[in-house]
Structure 1
């Protein structure tokens, strides 16, 4: 039986203020989205989850990262392109997160919070939350607007219509970990009930009844026109055709980050800065030229000491000048990707068929950790990869164990926040070169650390 997956996303909308609009009295608040087209809204959610089936219980923590960008806007709505990354860790919120699933979605948002999701997309599964009234509201005002929950099971999707009741509470402070704010607070509640219509065929592993209750709090900055923080509690009961009764409870906290979009040029600039940090012993260009220009000069032998740029070694020592020394000899290569900046760790950091980091390899990981700490709010993904030699399941476990080894080094030895780090083993699913020679297979045996910028 598949456990229904939950991802809660507060909806949003870009609203362009029309000229000649009626002034809003100072004692009332108008809620509308003021998100600009060159900005990205990122939501980081953390779910404490509890499942019960009979006497059996399961506890886990989910992490969801949602990145949302506008594609095309009108004064009344905006078509939004979004990415959903989901992560899981079992137990009582301890240990590393495992990268689970990825989703993409294009959906339309309207100025009052209502939005439309085409049938081909499963996300977001909580739809038209929160929805705002067309007129300004005062503290303690209450309103109701329709919304929808979408539950996706293996062989069927169930949509449940709900009517949340919202209350504007006023301006209050909020805090979560290292983050805090002070803005407009909205609370809401709603019951959930679904029963399969009479005459419809029962489907195995798909509930024919769902009921429960939800309560939530949203801190929405009315001046900036974006949410800052949310907290939601959900309780569901699923009844299946075979008589199984499953209970599910979620306690969700989510923090929003609003930032400008990062383009290809921005990523390349960040990559150059990172390369400058990784090149051990390099003291910089007194003429202030860009790192890219310095590398170019080095390749053309125009810089007297260009051939002798230092590099990370297993011992941490700066190597002596070597003929034809170059950036390609780093055991850590750096490249840009669609997601951000990727550090690729050479397989020499591990013994053959072993997942334990060599002691000397900690030097390379330590250097990367120093760089990652400059981006404390960014997502970090650690992925393990192998060549295609050997059995698939063995390679998957080896790649996963190697990824976990690097992750544990970042967390245990370099005190990085594990809530922002996840891992996954891909075996030979994502080669960077054909597995047709020993040299290319060597390239595919790697661990990658992605600093997520988008």
Structure 2
């Protein structure tokens, strides 16, 4: 039952800017969504969840991340492409988030906030919140517009029509954690009621009655035409044909971020910055095997100590080089000014941390320096590598970070699954406990041998597959 309810009760209110805001000399506010080309609206939600069946209760904390991009806009609507990632942790207070499910959706959002979602998509399951009238609003104005909740059970989808009552409260400040703002505040409330028609067949795992209520607050920046923050309380009661009564309560808080899309060129530029930061870090501290990176300079081309505190420019006068710890002079009596200079990407091949771009963002991959065989405790060299990665990740405080554990295909699937999860959690705990990173932005998941980076046909390749990866999510 809990697994079914996880996929059922995901509480998203996806909002996207569309058109220009109309100035109104009367002092009233005209609410509409704007849209700018190549922008993304990202929503990060946190849910306190309580399930109750009889005297049994389960507490949980969910985290949902929604990324929305437009594919095409017209005068009155936009076609939206969206990704929904869900995470959870039991106990509701602390500990790492486990990455649960992923959903995609294509839907239409009209300029007043009305949704049209094709039947093949589950998300967004809260639709047309909030919706605005065409006419401008004064403080204390009240309006009603139709909306919908969609509940997806194992064998049936139930769509419940609701009619929220909205009130424009004026301009107020909001604050959630490190984020704050000051903009237009809108409150709403509505009852929920559904009863399956007697003519329809009852399914054992699908409720025949749903009732409850919702109260919500949305801080919508009318000048920018985007939402900034929301807080929603949802309460449901589900009655099943066998007499089971289940209650579900959600307290939802969500912060919105408006940003530009990150294309392949942008990702590669970020990867280069990160790679050079790693080279600088290992130049400063040395490598796990005792070797160090030595600066090399063409004779007569400048100060060998410059540029080490930041990104190495394409024509840097110094390039780090792997050595065995002994300085080898590389000065010829008549040096060739056109001789090749070491490529930072070539140096990176010898670092214990690999960096690559993926569809999701930038991935740091760590292999056997992390753990002893069949162990999930981080080795000393691994702690050093994680410290350098944490130093870089802190430059992106608002970005999602995912830690994934991977194994080769040797051994039982169940054992490898558990081992991959424990190793991912070890890295996550190091980021949070030792390097004070915000655990609300970090999640973990173990994948066993599901995603190899090389065929498991040799010890060398299996070694590559025994790894932990840290993804800096950019999309």
- Taking structure 2 as the reference length, the TM-score comes to 0.87
**2:321 alignment partner, one of 308, 317, 321:** 308
Q: What is the Cα deviation at residue 38 of structure 1?
A: 1.3
Paired residues of 1:272 and 1:292 also in contact (CA < 8 A)? no
SS at match of 2:9: coil
Partner of 2:5: 3
Partner of 2:259: 259
Partner of 2:407: 386
SS at match of 1:237: strand
Q: Does 1:398 align with 2:419?
A: yes
Partner of 1:232: 232
**1:341 alignment partner, one of 349, 362, 372:** 362
Paired residues of 1:202 and 1:208 also in contact (CA < 8 A)? yes
Q: How far apart, in 2, do the equivalents of 1:91 and 1:186 lie?
A: 32
Partner of 1:326: 347
Partner of 2:157: 157
Q: How far apart, in 2, do the equivalents of 1:445 and 1:108 lie?
A: 43
**1:437 alignment partner, one of 458, 466, 470:** 458
Q: What is the Cα deviation at residue 10 of structure 1?
A: 2.7
Q: How far apart, in 2, do the equivalents of 1:445 and 1:319 lie?
A: 29
Partner of 2:218: 218
Q: How far apart, in 2, do the equivalents of 1:218 and 1:224 lie?
A: 14
Paired residues of 2:399 and 2:474 also in contact (CA < 8 A)? yes
Q: What is the Cα deviation at residue 320 of structure 1?
A: 5.0
Matching of residues 242-257 of structure 1 within 5 Å:
242-257=242-257
Partner of 1:12: 15
Q: What is the Cα deviation at residue 293 of structure 1?
A: 4.4
- For 1:161-203, what per-residue CA distance to the aligned partner results, in whole angstroms no more than 9, with x for missing partners? 0000000000000001111100000000000001111121111
Q: How far apart, in 2, do the equivalents of 1:447 and 1:73 lie?
A: 40
Q: Which moved more, 1:383-392 or 1:282-291?
A: 282-291
- For 1:53-75, what per-residue CA distance to the aligned partner results, in whole angstroms no more than 9, with x for missing partners? 01110001000000111111101
Paired residues of 1:140 and 1:169 also in contact (CA < 8 A)? yes
Q: How far apart, in 2, do the equivalents of 1:421 and 1:307 lie?
A: 32
- Flag the 1:153–1:292 CA change in 2: closer, same or farther, 3 A: farther
Q: How far apart, in 1, do the equivalents of 2:71 and 2:195 lie?
A: 37
Partner of 2:429: 408
Matching of residues 77-96 of structure 1 within 5 Å:
77-96=77-96
- Taking structure 1 as the reference length, the TM-score comes to 0.91
Q: How far apart, in 2, do the equivalents of 1:245 and 1:169 lie?
A: 37
Matching of residues 356-375 of structure 1 within 5 Å:
356-375=377-396
Partner of 1:313: none
Q: Does 1:97 align with 2:110?
A: no
Partner of 2:288: none
**2:468 alignment partner, one of 442, 447, 450:** 447
Q: What is the Cα deviation at residue 287 of structure 1?
A: 8.8
- Flag the 1:332–1:444 CA change in 2: closer, same or farther, 3 A: same
Q: What is the Cα deviation at residue 25 of structure 1?
A: 3.1
- Structure 2 segments unaligned to the other structure (5+ residues): 284-292, 296-303, 331-341
- For 1:325-378, what per-residue CA distance to the aligned partner results, in whole angstroms no more than 9, with x for missing partners? 832121110001111110001123100011110123211000000001111111
Paired residues of 2:277 and 2:311 also in contact (CA < 8 A)? no
- Structure 1 segments unaligned to the other structure (5+ residues): 298-302, 311-317
Matching of residues 77-226 of structure 1 within 5 Å:
77-226=77-226
- Flag the 1:446–1:163 CA change in 2: closer, same or farther, 3 A: same
Paired residues of 2:82 and 2:104 also in contact (CA < 8 A)? yes
Partner of 2:337: none
